[in-house]
């Protein structure tokens, strides 16, 4: 069978997927049979939005991210079945299966603007079909090679740009065949005129945000180990700090912790997300996160810092470090008890956060430098900024 067949009963869909290409690295060999069963209201609502008989690629196109967001609203607290469970098997994460000189050609499934009209700038959620050939773990990144010639090296392709993967290893369709990115379009404004200069806009982010379903995309990776979610302790605390698209890896973590029925992994700890964006319209994946708050109030906390809408206690703009300061006592206690803390987003977020943490440590009579080196030594400190 060259394409997958999807047949739908009233509340269940069974999907069998033909093996079009064997998996590139044998350690990640897949089971090619996928089933969405009635156990999960997430998968049921996904199924209910699919046509009676269609191909899985068509199903992906018909079932947009918007539909998935709607299913967030509809779902009960039961979890979504995922497959193939062999993606849990390897003891080490996949790394650099495809390199810049030997990249993988994947296909764009969907591109959706995920910020409201009052958000400054544009951010898109992009689903990519890798057909199971580019497996990854939550917290890793893909490299993207935009089409065209590298202006600095005539005749050569563009350099690779990295993007944090915003889905779990099972992807937004829970079948291990897609990966999602959360991409902010880089736009250049002339500092003198204040006008946009399209010739200087970011190459790869604009390629991604302008791409259409069915377009080819050259991918490398997956890469990165710093942001992998440690899973040895189901009672662990994970404090996740993001600005803007830095929320991408946390969307993956939180789906794994709260949405997916992952074999042998029942999370009972605390996940605490701090998200800094400009305003309400700039909030990313807010429906999903709000749903976790409702369904898992003892295991999930979510604090937002809206810099253009809220004021900090000194009357200035509310940044993510102001929220950290507000909860610093609790955060320090959690860190002392072994919590993991993650930072992801623009490089510029770190100095303000580090200053705040240092000040709080000093107020508590602690040395921040000593504390930081201990956190690093214990592998509790995870930073990926760009």
Assess whether 163 carries a catalytic annotation.
yes
Provide the b/e sequence for 98-125 (b: ≥16 CB within 10 Å).
Answer: beeeebbebbbbbbbebbeeebeebbbb
Q: Of these residues, 136, 163, 250, 319, which one is catalytic?
A: 163
Task: Name residues contacting ligand FAD, limited to 317-346 (CB under 6 A).
Answer: none
301 has which bridge partners?
A: 272
Q: Of these residues, 4, 40, 141, 164, which one is catalytic?
A: 164
The yes or no reply on residue 205 touching ligand FAD (CB under 6 A) is yes
Assess whether 344 carries a catalytic annotation.
yes
> For the residues of 256-320, what is the DSSP string, one character each?
IIIIEE-TT----SEEEEEEEESSGGG--SHHHHHHHHHH-TTTEEEEEEETTT-B-TTSSB--H
Task: Answer yes or no: are the C-beta atoms of 293 and 284 closer than 8 Å.
Answer: no
Task: Name residues contacting ligand FAD, limited to 139-158 (CB under 6 A).
Answer: 141
Q: Is 308 annotated as a binding residue?
A: yes
Q: What are phi and psi of 35, to 5 degrees?
A: -135, 135
Q: Is 11 annotated as a binding residue?
A: no
Q: Which stretch binds ligand FAD (CB under 6 A): 195-203, 232-240, 329-337, 353-361?
A: 195-203
Assess whether 319 carries a catalytic annotation.
no
CA-closest candidate to residue 238, choices 280, 271, 196, 207? 271
Q: Which stretch binds ligand FAD (CB under 6 A): 18-26, 101-109, 184-192, 329-337?
A: 184-192
Assess whether 164 carries a catalytic annotation.
yes
Assess whether 386 carries a catalytic annotation.
yes
344 has which bridge partners?
A: 242, 384
> For the residues of 107-121, what is the DSSP string, one character each?
EEEEEEE-S-TTSSS
Residue with tokens 């705040």: 356
Task: Name residues contacting ligand FAD, limited to 227-286 (CB under 6 A).
Answer: 245, 248
The yes or no reply on residue 62 touching ligand FAD (CB under 6 A) is no
The yes or no reply on residue 188 touching ligand FAD (CB under 6 A) is yes
The yes or no reply on residue 380 touching ligand FAD (CB under 6 A) is no
Where in the sequence numbering do the catalytic residues fall?
163-164, 344, 384, 386
Residues within the interface to ligand FAD (CB under 6 A): 141, 161-164, 182-184, 186, 188, 200-206, 245, 248, 384, 386
């Amino acid at each position: 069978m060259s394409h997958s067949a999807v047949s739908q009963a009233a509340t269940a869909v069974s999907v069998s997927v033909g093996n079009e290409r064997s998996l590139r690295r044998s350690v990640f060999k897949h089971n090619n049979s996928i089933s969405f069963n009635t156990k999960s209201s997430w998968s049921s609502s996904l199924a209910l939005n699919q046509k009676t008989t269609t191909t899985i690629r068509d199903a992906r196109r018909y079932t947009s991210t918007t539909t998935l967001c709607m299913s967030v609203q509809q779902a009960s607290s039961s979890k979504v079945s995922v497959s193939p469970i062999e993606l849990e098997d390897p003891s080490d994460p996949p790394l650099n299966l495809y390199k810049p000189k030997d990249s993988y050609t994947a296909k764009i499934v969907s591109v959706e603007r995920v910020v409201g009209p009052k958000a400054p700038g544009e951010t898109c959620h992009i689903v990519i079909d890798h057909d199971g050939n580019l497996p990854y773990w939550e917290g890793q990144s893909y490299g993207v090679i935009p089409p065209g010639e590298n202006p600095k090296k005539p005749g050569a392709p563009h350099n690779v740009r990295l993007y944090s993967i915003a889905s779990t290893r099972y992807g937004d369709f829970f079948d291990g065949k897609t990966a999602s990115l959360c991409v902010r379009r880089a736009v250049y404004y002339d500092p003198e005129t204040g006008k946009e200069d399209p010739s200087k806009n970011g190459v790869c982010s604009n390629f991604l945000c302008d791409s259409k379903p069915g377009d080819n995309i050259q991918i490398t990776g997956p890469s990165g180990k710093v942001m992998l979610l440690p899973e040895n302790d189901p009672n662990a605390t994970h404090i996740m700090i993001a600005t803007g698209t830095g929320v991408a890896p946390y969307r993956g973590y939180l789906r794994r912790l709260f949405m997916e029925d992952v074999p042998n992994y029942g999370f009972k700890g605390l996940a605490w997300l701090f998200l800094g964006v400009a305003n309400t319209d700039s909030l990313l994946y807010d429906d999903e996160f709000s749903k976790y708050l409702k369904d898992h109030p003892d295991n999930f906390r979510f604090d937002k810092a809206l810099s253009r809408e809220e004021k900090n206690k000194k009357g200035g703009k509310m940044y993510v470090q102001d929220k950290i300061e507000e909860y610093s006592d609790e955060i320090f206690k959690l860190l002392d008890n072994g919590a993991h803390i993650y930072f992801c987003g623009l490089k510029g977020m770190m100095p303000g956060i580090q200053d705040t943490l240092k000040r709080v440590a000093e107020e508590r009579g602690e040395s921040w430098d000593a504390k930081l080196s201990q956190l690093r030594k214990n592998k509790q400190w995870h930073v990926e900024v760009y």
